[in-house]
Amino acid sequence: MTAEGAAVSTRTVARQCTLCEAHCGILVTVDRDRVTRIEGDPDDVLSHGYICPKATALADLHHDPDRLRRPMRRVGDGFEEIGWDEAFALAGNRLRAVRRRHGRDAIAMYLGNPAAHSSSVVYGIALRVALLTRKFYSASSIDQFPQEFAAWKMFGSNVLMPIADVDRTDRLLILGANPAVSNGSVTTMPDARGRIAAIRRRGGSVVVVDPRRTETARLADEHVAVRPGGDPYLLLGMLHTILADGTGPAAGTVPLAGTEELAELVAPCTPEAMAPRAGVDADTIVRLARDHAAARSAVAYARIGVCHQVTGTLTHWLVNTLNAVTGNLDRPGGQMYATPPIDAARLVRRLGSGHGRWRSRTGEHASFRTELPVVGLADEMLGDAADSAGPVRALVTYAGNPVLSTPQGGRLDEALDSLDFFVAVDMYLTETSRHADLILPPVSHLEREEFDFLFPVFSVRNNARFNARVFEPPPDTLEDWQILSRLTLEVLPLPLRAQLTRPLRAVFDRLGPLRLGALGVLTGPHGVLRRGRRGLTLGRIRRTRGGIDLGPLQPRLRSLVATRDGRVHVAPPEFVDETRRLLAETENDSRETEFDLRLIGRRHLRSNNSWLHNIPTMVKGRDRCTVLMHPDDAAARSLVHGQPVTVRSRIGSIVVPVEVSDEIRAGTVAIPHGWGHDEKGVGWSTAAAHPGANVNLLHDPAVTDTFTGNAAVNATMVNVTARSERSADQDVGTRVSRPVRRT
Ligand SMILES: Nc1nc2c(c(=O)[nH]1)N[C@H]1C(S)=C(S)[C@@H](COP(=O)(O)OP(=O)(O)OC[C@H]3O[C@@H](n4cnc5c(=O)[nH]c(N)nc54)[C@H](O)[C@@H]3O)O[C@H]1N2
Ligand SMILES: Nc1nc2c(c(=O)[nH]1)N[C@H]1C(S)=C(S)[C@@H](COP(=O)(O)OP(=O)(O)OC[C@H]3O[C@@H](n4cnc5c(=O)[nH]c(N)nc54)[C@H](O)[C@@H]3O)O[C@H]1N2
Ligand code: SF4
Ligand SMILES: [Mo]
């Protein structure tokens, strides 16, 4: 090709990576219809040129021949391509038939993680509303439910989850998060490594509380190898110290309610009493408390490691409370709230979070914010048809892979096969969608043009960035929002649906996510309607390369707090009662005779939950789906590094290689989730060559966060034995589950 030809055919588009919450700015260089390069955008106002290795996967995902481009209908054991109109008619007829025969709760819906990374999610919610089903599920109940519940009880709304002002803090205490790998979650911080290094450079300090010496712990001043599940005790001991020292509670922008009850609760929680439960010595507890209280600004930040515990909600309450009583709530360097271009949290904060409005069919789980915990999904489908509550007969999934990502006691495959109808909105034939009757694939991430309204709500710095399209979508393809709005029209419970479809479609087509986004920006806190001529419009954001920086986080809790009395509640009665109950329990280090190790999770820089393992650069190198074990534990079992072992829990077992390292606390083992690509009929050819094993086959769906039913996948007791002892017939990565019936 001549140089001139190259110049004509090559172009670079600035947009964001939509794979994780960081939404880093990227520059995508394209030669005709191929991506030739993806690099960090130095002009991006939030990520300043940082990207992680996953960003390049966007190109591979776009070009992946395994990615579905046409609707697929099940025929026998396989699938055939069909047209969109035919596909929507099929989905509509079948879903309506199920609803007519079995009622609206016979249709369930599951919304997965990538939905949150696209403004199409609004249309997912519209579909959920049109279905009028109480059987709604999402990845939130194997994720941040505990954090939302704590926010609801303390600040009056589940959406008011405060974030850590990492860019200005003098002291960062991280519990159960590994931002050096995850780049922050419910605190969007692209280049977390750089931001953590900056805290130390400006004279601040960073402590990581984690049973594993993680990538983040290695960047910190101190690593505290807490016992898994030990965090609430560590925090109670810290609160005891602060209140006993008289250094709290400090005054904040919003008055605190419940400080006396809190003082009474923590009075007996001396560091000495808490130390064995936390697995952290008393001196360390005292020191962590005093350093937090003494720092000019300090923030405790906790995430998924503690959400995935039976004490998930309690721990997040104690984290927020620690920040509040040390005067670090709603002040620079502490826990704060963003002021995003679309003030989504403020708009919906009074909608009501609601807990226990309805229950699961088995009665085991209560709804929270109008959904049920996903751990109950298989149970909901495998019910007895004679059951008056009736089992779920049809399912809609949108951007989720619950077969790999949720604990279901090994029963979800069977449950999905038992359905009358299952439609998956997904661009891959996955462990989940392979069970579908119909798969509706959206365009690739690079073919979307969007304005994200969700993650700016959790961003460490206020910003407005447009996400431009790299490729025009090919003819006869649809974006998620178009697919979801067509499905919505198909299931609208209207008597004149047939007649109304055409005009409603015209309305939906005109009300794309960009129109809604433009309206949100216009009326938002930085919009022209509020700020006059210098204010924002979507057009201005779109035209500004790298986005618009809207400054550091501002104190604003007073305008957000949604409790009836306008105060922040540091001692909600149900949390106090539950803490008392736990403290009264005689200490039981769960030394069950048969299962003697506690299993936790871990993430890798080149994995993204279950769905990047089909990209060769994301799976190259050594096997990453291993069980990480302390050398003492390995020696006690005569296991050597690299050896295949059987990891067994009360409900299932998998075979994986053992990885021996002293980075993990003795008595604890770690296995990453999102693996187990060995199912027949899955369309992931590269992933099939690197299957790993599905760790969620080990986690008991009955073990959940006390308040929300969030999966407590860091609380599972397992044993680990040499493979040959008990399961010589299995290959590494094989799944051997013992499905359990619990109804
Ligand atoms: N044991 C254990 N389990 C866990 C976790 C853990 O730490 N330990 N973590 C949990 C967490 S935090 C989460 S968020 C969940 C995630 O759980 P899920 O959301 O259920 O699973 P993902 O692996 O994110 O699967 C995403 C699916 O969406 C598809 N997809 C990707 N992009 C798009 C898109 O733009 N549109 C559509 N329609 N589809 C798309 C992919 O092909 C894939 O099938 O996993 C949870 N599971
Ligand atoms: N590379 C990559 N990035 C991701 C993802 C990914 O799959 N890969 N997933 C994205 C998603 S969906 C999410 S929700 C975020 C999650 O983001 P993070 O919360 O940062 O997730 P993890 O890396 O799983 O970190 C959890 C940590 O908790 C520790 N832990 C486990 N049990 C306990 C405990 O009882 N106490 C304490 N103190 N620590 C404990 C684990 O050892 C682990 O280091 O990451 C996002 N970013
Ligand atoms: S951290 Fe990596 S995966 Fe996440 S948005 Fe940035 S480049 Fe993408
Ligand atoms: Mo997540």
- DSSP for 328-355? -BSSTTSEE----SS-HHHHHTTS---E
Rounded to an integer, the average pLDDT of 671-678 is 96
CA 668 to chain centre: 23
The tokens 């579908």 sit on which residue? 436
Tokens standing for residue 147: 């954090």
Closest CA to 63 of 427, 397, 398: 427
* CA 353 to chain centroid: 18
Considering only CA atoms, which of 613, 644, 150 is closest in space to residue 353?
150
Dist. CA 293 → ligand 2 center (Å) = 26
Q: Is the pLDDT at 561 greater than 50, yes or no?
A: yes
How confident is the model over 289-305, as pLDDT tens digits?
999 999 999 999 999 99
Q: Whose CA is nearest to atom 39 of ligand 2?
A: 176
- pLDDT of 388 reads 66
> Are 269 and 313 a contacting pair, CB within 8 Å?
no
Long-range contacts of residues 32-38, Cβ cutoff 8 Å, at least 24 apart:
33/471, 34/63, 35/59, 35/62, 35/63, 35/446, 35/470, 36/10
Cβ-contact 428, 62 below 8 angstroms: no
pLDDT band for position 354 (50/70/90)? confident
Q: At 407, which amino acid appears?
A: P
The letter for the amino acid at 651 is I
Of all protein residues, the one whose alpha carbon is nearest to atom 45 of ligand 2 is 182
Rounded CA separation 250/243 (Å) = 10
Instruction: Please report the pLDDT score of residue 1 as a whole number.
Output: 43
Q: What pLDDT digit, counting tens, does each position of 195-212 carry?
A: 999 999 999 999 999 999
Is residue 24 pLDDT above 70, yes or no?
A: yes
Residue 406 has pLDDT above 50, yes or no: yes
The DSSP H or E segment spanning 451 is none
Check whether 506 has a pLDDT greater than 70.
yes
Among protein residues, the one whose CA lies closest to atom 18 of ligand 2: 177
22 lines ligand 3 (CB under 6 A): yes
CB neighbour list of residue 541: distance below 8 Å, 6 or more residues apart: 341, 451, 464, 465, 466, 521, 547, 548
pLDDT value at residue 498: 79
Atom of ligand 2 nearest to the CA of 670: 42
Ligand nearest to the CA of 24: 3
pLDDT for 45-93, tens place per residue? 999 999 999 999 999 999 999 999 999 999 999 999 999 999 999 999 9
Q: Is the pLDDT of residue 546 over 60?
A: yes
- pLDDT attached to residue 663: 98
What is the CB < 6 Å shell around ligand 2? 20, 113, 143, 175-179, 181-182, 185, 209-212, 214, 226, 228-229, 231, 303-306, 309, 600-605, 607-609, 714
Q: With a threshold of 0.75, does the pTM exceed it?
A: yes
Q: Which ligand 1 atom minimizes the distance to the CA of 430?
A: 44
Whole-angstrom distance, CA of residue 667 vs CA of residue 599: 9
607 lines ligand 3 (CB under 6 A): no
- Confidence grade of residue 742 (pLDDT, cut at 50, 70, 90): very low
Residue 116, H or E segment: none
- Ligand 3, atom 6, lies closest to the CA of 24
pLDDT in tens, 464-493: 999 999 999 999 999 999 999 999 999 988
- Is the shortest distance between the CB of 615 and ligand 3 below 6 Å? no
pLDDT reading at 592 higher than 90: no
Match 């700020």 to its residue by tokens: 531
Number of H helices and number of E strands within the chain?
A: 28, 29
20 lines ligand 3 (CB under 6 A): yes
3-state SS track over 540-578? HHHHCCCCEECCCCCCCHHHHCCCCCCCEECCCHHHHHH
- Burial (Cβ within 10 Å: 0-12, 13-18, ≥19) of residue 83: exposed
Task: From 52, 68, 215, select the one nearest 618 (Cα to Cα).
Answer: 52
- Kindly tell me if the per-residue pLDDT of 734 is higher than 70: no
How far apart CA 392 and CA 103 sit, in angstroms, is: 10
Find the range with the poorest average confidence among 143-157, 653-667, 717-731: 717-731
- Rounded to whole angstroms, how far apart are CA atoms 291 and 283? 12
Q: Is the pLDDT at 365 greater than 70, yes or no?
A: yes
* Stretch 449-459: mean pLDDT: 95
Distance (Å, whole) CA 160 – CA 503: 37
Closest CA to 311 of 708, 717, 718, 672: 708
Amino acid at 120: S
Query: How far away, in angstroms, is 185 Cα from ligand 2 center?
Result: 9
Distances (CA, A) of 680 to 30, 234, 248, 739: 35, 45, 58, 19
Distance (Å) from CA 139 to ligand 4 centroid: 7
Longest dimension (CA), the chain: 78
Cβ(552)–Cβ(546) below 8 Å = no
Instruction: Return the SS3 of 279.
Output: coil
Q: In this structure, what token pair is assigned to residue 527?
A: 């919009």
pLDDT at 353 exceeding the cut of 80? no
Complete domains list, the chain, with CATH: 3-63 (2.20.25.90), 72-133+373-452+462-550 (3.40.50.740), 145-341+558-580 (3.40.228.10), 593-730 (2.40.40.20)
Q: Which residue has the higher pLDDT, 588 or 43?
A: 43
Cα of 448 from ligand 4 centre, angstroms: 22
| Residue whose C-alpha is closest to residue 394's, from 359, 428, 420 | 420
378 Cα: distance to centroid of ligand 2 (angstroms): 25
Identify the pLDDT of residue 729.
Answer: 46
pLDDT at 736: 43
CA angle, 357 then 229 then 408, to 5°: 55
Mean pLDDT of 713-729: 79
Atom 31 (ligand 2) nearest CA:
305
Query: Is there a contact between 607 and 687 (Cβ–Cβ < 8 Å)?
Result: no
In percent, the amount of the chain with pLDDT more than 90 equals 89
The reply to whether omega before 340 is within 30° of 0 (cis) is no
Q: Which numbered atom of ligand 3 lies nearest the CA of 53?
A: 2
Closest-CA residue to 364 (of 346, 378, 350, 351) = 378
Residues with Cβ–ion distance below 5 A, ligand 4: 143
Token match 């069980």: residue? 627
Cα torsion angle, 738, 376, 741, 600, sign: positive
Q: What is the DSSP string of 58-73?
A: HHHHHH-TTS--S-EE
The pairing of strands 644-649 and 652-660 is antiparallel
Least confident of 335-339, 354-358, 647-651: 354-358
Ligand nearest, relative to CA of residue 177: 2
Report how far residue 134's alpha carbon sits from residue 704's, in angstroms, rounded to the nearest whole number: 20
- Residue found by looking up tokens 């034939």 in the block: 429
CA of 599 to the centre of ligand 2 (A): 14
Ligand 3 center from residue 343 Cα (angstroms)? 24
Kindly state the average pLDDT of the residues 161-182: 98
Q: Which helix (H) or strand (E) holds 86?
A: helix 84-102
CA angle 201/287/205 to nearest 5° reads 10
Whether the CB of 219 sits within 6 Å of ligand 3: no
Q: Is 606 in the pocket of ligand 3 (CB under 6 A)?
A: no
Mean pLDDT of the chain: 94
Please state the atom number of ligand 3 nearest to the C-alpha of residue 20: 4
C-beta of residue 115 within 8 angstroms of C-beta of residue 121? yes
Q: Is the CB of 52 under 6 A from ligand 3?
A: yes
- For the chain, give percent helix, strand, coil, nearest 5: 35, 20, 45
CA 511 to CA 500: how far, in whole Å?
Answer: 16
What pLDDT is stored for residue 244 in this prediction? 97
User: Which residues, other chains included, contact 556 with Cβ-Cβ below 8 Å and sequence gap of 6+?
Assistant: 330, 336, 337, 339
